[in-house]
Amino acid sequence: MEPASFKKLLLSSWNVRGLGDSDKCRDVRYTLSSTPLHVICLQETKLSDVAVSKASSFLPSNLTNFTYKNSNGASGGLLNAWTYFFESTVDSLSFAVTNVYGPCRNDQKENFLNELRFLSTTCTGPWLIFGDFNLTRVAEDKNTENFSNAAPEAFNDIIDELLLNDLPLLDHRFTWSNGQDNPTLVRLDRALINVPWGQALFNSTLTSLVRHTSDHVPLLLTATSTAPVSQIFRYQKFWAAYATYKNMVLQVWEAPVNQVADSAQQVVEKLKWVRVKSKKFAKDIKCPKEIMVACQHVIALIDIMEELRSLTLEELLLRTPVKEQLSTHNKALSDY
């Protein structure tokens, strides 16, 4: 017997460093749309207000529910978004997600940690604390020797006191870069889960999405639930750009359906054949997004190499045009 497949809960956290620019919003939307996310936590939106029209410029189309906290002038700003059909239909599981943007100033970090302590008293069920903490835990969280123990020790004490689990980031050592040729790299972004979360949503793992805008890596938390996966056919809009696909659909639609007299049943049968042919078409055709995926792989590889050693001049020069190419293809796809 094959092992059972279970639905996954996908959550992302990202310090986007401003969403005022329309091109930036489009690039953020592309990154967040690369995975079928259920919940998104954004930090540093730098927006004093978020209208529905503005939210639609950077949020994936399925994430229509959102709430936000205004920025403080030109800094800060939080936004949480979740998918409109997001609900538990298998059991009565509920959970809490706290979107975090920790203070940069050292004299404010104690109050921030005390707020986490207070929030823990209100979250008795599964709880995720997700975001940019602006705190490190150990010296290895930085690629420089400039490390002070005071704030990390207080942070570690809170994590131990509240029995939180700091999920390891599986594909990166650091989550922030100052973008210099010889960069400072720091692990500032995290996902902390409490004991009930670990019990209810087993096998929670933390990886990343590709960062081609912002100086922070977008985090991706994958939590396995007990809901079984259903196999659903999904039509892809870009198929219509191919004349071969249109001809294929036309041929299927005009072909006679033998031994089926009822008109409604004939339509059903033809739709079934369109689905079968579409699946085969999807396997054979080269998706226009392949170049964008290749760009993402190059960007991710350069980011990983930067964590391990200094980049060569060729690698430094490659990063910018690849990001520009990804943004250009994303704009073209959005226009289509």
- Pick from 169, 219, 211: nearest CA to 295: 211
| Segments making up each domain of the chain, as ranges | 6-228, 237-284
Higher pLDDT, 223 or 325: 223
- Residues 84-108: tens digit of each pLDDT: 766 665 567 789 999 999 999 999 9
Confidence of residue 232 (pLDDT cuts 50, 70, 90): low
Q: Is the pLDDT of residue 267 over 90?
A: no
User: What does the radius of gyration of the chain's CA atoms come to, in whole angstroms?
Assistant: 23
d(CA 75, CA 207): 27
Average pLDDT over residues 238-242: 72
Q: What CATH topology corresponds to 6-228?
A: Deoxyribonuclease I; Chain A (3.60.10)
Write down the mean pLDDT value for the chain.
Answer: 86
Helix (H, G, I), strand (E, B) or coil at 270: helix
d(CA 146, CA 186): 11
- Report the Cα–Cα distance between both ends of the chain, in Å, rounded: 44
Express as a percent the part of the chain with pLDDT over 90: 51
Q: What are the φ and ψ backbone dihedral angles of 186, each rounded to 5 degrees? A: -140, 145
In the DSSP assignment, the letter for residue 239 is G
Confidence of residue 213 (pLDDT cuts 50, 70, 90): confident
- Residues 43-63: tens digit of each pLDDT: 999 999 999 999 999 999 999
> What is the pTM for the complete model shown?
0.70
